[in-house]
Amino acid sequence: MTSFRSTLHCRVHFYYCLLIAIKLKAREFPRWTSTSKNLFVKGWVDTAKRNNIFDLAVNGEIEWLMAILKNVSGVKDIESLVENVYRKGCHISSSQSH
């Protein structure tokens, strides 16, 4: 059985990787639209899922992101959303280690 800490670590790692991918892409295209960001994230997440890049613990996160990105223009600021989830995960992780 996977522990809460292990599952949380996998999820935080997933969001870290996604956030870095978004930020690197933003350096290439500093003026990309929210729709373009959503398409990029959708493709990135789909590739991660298809290639089983991350632990099974993140499948719920992948499904959630795919659901909210189903309508490409449905998320106004996906980068902020991902960053907020990542930061909250880090906060919970650090409070669990004490």
* Maximum pairwise Cα distance, the chain: 45
- The pLDDT, as a whole number, for residue 47 is 96
What is the chain's alpha carbon radius of gyration, rounded to the nearest angstrom?
A: 14
Structure confidence at residue 97 as a pLDDT band (50, 70, 90): low
Question: Are the C-beta atoms of 32 and 26 separated by less than 8 Å?
Answer: yes
Q: Which two tokens stand for residue 96?
A: 């669990």
Question: Are the C-beta atoms of 40 and 22 separated by less than 8 Å?
Answer: yes
**Of the ranges 2-6, 15-19, 33-37, 40-44, which one carries the lowest mean pLDDT score?**
2-6
- With 0.85 as the threshold, say if the pTM is over it: yes
What's the rounded mean pLDDT across residues 57-69?
93
Structure confidence at residue 1 as a pLDDT band (50, 70, 90): very low
pLDDT at 98 over 60: no
| Count of beta carbons in the 10 Å neighbourhood of residue 38 | 21
